[in-house]
Amino acid sequence: MTTAAIGKPISRVDGRAKVTGSAKYAAEYNVPNLAYGYIVSATVAKGKIARIDASAALAVPGVIEVFTHEKTKHLAWFDRSYQDEVAPPGSPFRPLYDDEIQYNMQPVALVVAEDFGIARYAATLVRVEYERVAFATDLEQQRAQAYVPPKKRNGIPPPGKPRGDADAAIASAEITHEAEYVMPYEHHNPMEMYGSTVVYEPDGKLTIYEKTQGAPNCQTYVVKVFGYSTGEVRVISSYVGGAFGSGLRPQHQLLLAVLAARELKRSVRVSLTREQMFSLSYRPYTFLPISLGANRDGTLTAIKHSATAVTSRFEDYQEDDVNWSGALYKCANSKFNYELAQLDLNTPCDMRAPGGATGMYALECAMDELAYKIGIDPLELRLKNFAEKDQNKDLPFSSNELRKCYAQGAEKFGWSKRNPEPRSMREGNQLIGWGMATGLWDAQRMKASAKALLTADGKLEVSSATTDIGTGTYTIMTQIAAETLGLPMDRVMFRLGDSSMPMAPVEGGSWTAATVGPAVQAACQAVGKKLFGYAKKIKGSPLAKAKFEDIEFGDGQMRLKGGASQSVALTEALRHAKVASIEEEATAAPGSEAKKYSMYVRSAIFAEVKVDEAFGTVRVTRVVNAIAGGRVLNPKTARSQIIGGVVWGIGMALEEESHLDHQFGRFMNHSLAEYHVPVNADIHDIEVIFVEERDEIINSLGVKGLGEIGIVGTASAIANAIYHATGKRVRDLPITLDKVMRTE
Ligand code: MOS
């Protein structure tokens, strides 16, 4: 392969469309005779709708209809129990299904009007009276009722089995550290708000432009809930302005838009406001008690890690918060527990590195605290307890270059110059702190299909129903296709985000590169084999005697490996065979490797903070994140994923938190003015290192996903740096200035 596209820092192939505005997002499609829906949200946390009066709203000129649970009773809901591809066990929330209020801000009505402004205004005139009942939204108070979820969530492994005797080992340990860490609520705040444009076709079929991480998942959902056949519903999601997990499940505006379009026999768009984004899902508030035991020399002798997390009354949402603690470090005695407590809130949902970001935050801060108690360098403590195999699964790793991450990250950061003494480094009134942490995340792979179409003009079009949520899927899939058939990038077009394309799972879990990549490769290889067959049949073909294994694709040619003169152009093979095109579809799925090997992506993060001694304000002035993520398909998009994760890690450490007012059971800071995320001024130097890691086992490309690892561990490195700067341990995120300054 000489037309190497893989491994090059290629700019996004969709970049021009995005910056010029020609890339259309779900709520941007212009459709004739479009009606606009605006959602009315509940203002109480629990109870029943006693009365709902839409007459004033209906009287507004331009209002077409107001849908309430009373009006939707007669509507067809064929499969009321349908759970989407990533649903946790339970019964999914169904908007406008009945008079019950299950959480504050749940939709109670949909006003549909000739334009958005009219709908929004009329929504203020819908009068809703509630019968309120007592509710609970305080995890602290509900903690005593926590339970081990009886039914496991699909894809979430239960906490690792206990090993040895962790309680006895803690009791007899020379050094122990026991503390509780707290993860607050966080809400997904992608740039693009949720929106659905449902096009009601003349024959009653639906074409839906949807913001989602999985067009097929939304298609199946609409089909099941409304009793359509698959051919009647097409979901398109060509561009997604960020999602971070919030688009893994169909959101309620989709159902409401379809409902209205069906009833009105008209195209309808429903989009959410920024405030309404906070009525969707969230990263769950979680208590994370952890106990570590060690010998004086730094050998870990015990790990106990528990989590008590929020879920709703109607679904048992689960994460693998504690599992990482059983896999990352070598330890003979360990015990894990994961519990849920039900609150009167919407169900939480996956948010970038769900479970990993939360659980590893506790583990990696606890390891730092233990290092101080032992009097050992935190990096040395980690190296001392380096895991050579996965003790959770009792399996070897498919690859593990974490040591290189530690070494190269430390070198770049200058870790050896660190004085371990807290408050020992300063610059005027700025206390300087250096902290580090490890990151660990699953290197998963699912099953997916792709189709490749090569036409006589030498152009290749490849498609799969996967998504690009801003990660670079368009670009890396184009690279894989270009490389496999030896074509220049500009001859290859990759399409995605359409339920009519070959099947792919939701874009989540950082699995897309490793899942869709091999399918794209396989489809292109199938085209290549067919071409080769044609090339051999050409009279006097230089490849007549060659086997497929002997040839390579490059510069638009098939040629004998090492014998560039014996070649046939791809277009020539097509021309001689008298075919206008070759189309091949292929499916690629994981084999038995996951039973024989444990597969992870890893990182070492080093952070520098400067803390104002008088004001307690924290700046993260430097972060070095060294990643072991297998083969890097595109260093530019890969780096951009890690930077995004680190930025979020900074937000997680210092800023992000959704505040519940327990008087109302409502998230109160539902705007970007009050829900703080990092802005440019908060972000300083971020350095990303990809260490060399070869993985021959994981998949045909040797690739691991990079979408989530960047956030894992980053908040811990920052929290640890703040301790080093100030001597102050803050275990409840975010570490705001009041916490830095509080006296215990
Ligand atoms: Mo990710 S939280 O699986 O989109």
Give me the mean pLDDT over the 381-397 stretch.
96
Question: Token digits for 619?
Answer: 């700046």
pLDDT at 590: 97
Centre of ligand 1 to C-alpha 351, Å, is 6
The label of the residue with tokens 């580090």 reads 436
Structure tokens that stand for 203 in this block = 């024959």
Euclidean distance between CA atoms 13 and 327, whole angstroms: 38
Residue 505, phi then psi, degrees to nearest 5? -75, 175
Q: What does the pLDDT read at residue 562?
A: 82
Closest CA to 628 of 460, 423, 416, 398: 398
Nearest atom in ligand 1 to 352's CA:
2
Preceding amide of 734 cis, omega within 30? yes
User: Is the pLDDT assigned to residue 145 strictly greater than 60?
Assistant: yes
C-alpha span between 8 and 2 (Å, rounded)? 13
Mean pLDDT along residues 400-407: 98
Residues 641 and 472: beta-carbon distance below 8 Å: yes
Q: Which helix (H) or strand (E) holds 723?
A: helix 714-726
Q: Tell me the best of 212, 251, 350, 709 to mutate to test the pocket of ligand 1, counting ligand atoms within 8 Å of each CB and taking the most.
A: 350
Give the tens place of pLDDT for each residue, 19-74: 999 999 999 999 999 999 999 999 999 999 999 999 999 999 999 999 999 988 76
pLDDT at 3 over 70: no
Q: Is 708 part of the annotated catalytic residue set?
A: yes
Q: Which atom of ligand 1 lies nearest, measured to the CA of 353?
A: 2
Quick one: pLDDT at residue 78? 64
- Please give the pLDDT value at position 521: 98
What is the arithmetic mean of pLDDT over 716-743?
97
Q: Whose CA is nearest to atom 4 of ligand 1?
A: 245
d(CA 125, CA 60): 9
247 C-alpha vs ligand 1 centroid, how far in Å? 8
**Joined tokens for residue 532:** 């080769």
Structure tokens at 579: 């075919």
Q: What is the pLDDT of residue 74?
A: 66
Catalytic residue among 201, 507, 708, 744: 708
Residues with CB under 6 A from ligand 1: 213, 244-245, 248, 350-352, 354, 508-509
518 Cα–ligand 1 center, Å: 20
| Contact of 504 with 465, CB cutoff 8 Å | yes
**pLDDT tens figures, 404-415:** 999 999 999 999
Q: Which of 352, 358, 446 to mutate to test the pocket of ligand 1 (most atoms within 8 A of CB)?
A: 352
Six-digit token string for 88? 């946790």
Closest ligand 1 atom number to CA of residue 243: 4
53 alpha carbon – ligand 1 mean position (Å): 39
Could you tell me which of 352, 428, 438 has the C-alpha nearest to residue 387?
Answer: 438
Q: Round to whole Å and give the CA distance between 113 and 270.
A: 11
128-131 long-range contacts, CB within 8 A, separation 24+: 128/40, 128/42, 128/43, 128/49, 128/51, 128/52, 128/53, 129/49, 129/50, 129/51, 129/52, 130/42, 130/43, 130/44, 130/47, 130/48, 130/49, 130/50, 130/101, 131/47, 131/48, 131/49, 131/50
- What is the pTM for the complete model shown? 0.97
| Across 511-529, average pLDDT | 98
Closest ligand 1 atom to Cα of 507: 4
From ligand 1's centre to the CA of 557, what distance in Å?
Answer: 39
Q: Which of 88, 321, 45, 368 is nearest to 182 (CA)?
A: 321
Task: State the Cα–Cα distance between residues 188 and 305, nearest whole angstrom.
Answer: 26
> Using one digit for the tens of pLDDT, what is the confidence trace for 175-202?
999 999 999 999 999 999 999 999 999 9
If one residue of 248, 706, 709 were mutated to test the ligand 1 pocket, choosing by the most ligand atoms within 8 A of its CB, it would be 248
Single-letter code of the amino acid located at 8: K
Give the C-alpha separation, 629 to 710, whole Å: 11
- The candidate with the shortest Cα–Cα distance to 110, out of 100, 129, 95, 93, is 95
Least Cα distance to 533 among 481, 487, 586, 579 occurs for 579
pLDDT at position 565 is 79
Ligand 1 atom closest to Cα of 350? 2
Instruction: Identify whether the C-beta of residue 710 lies closer than 8 Å to the C-beta of residue 581.
Output: no
Mean pLDDT of the chain: 96
> What's the gap in Å between 509 CA and the centre of ligand 1?
5
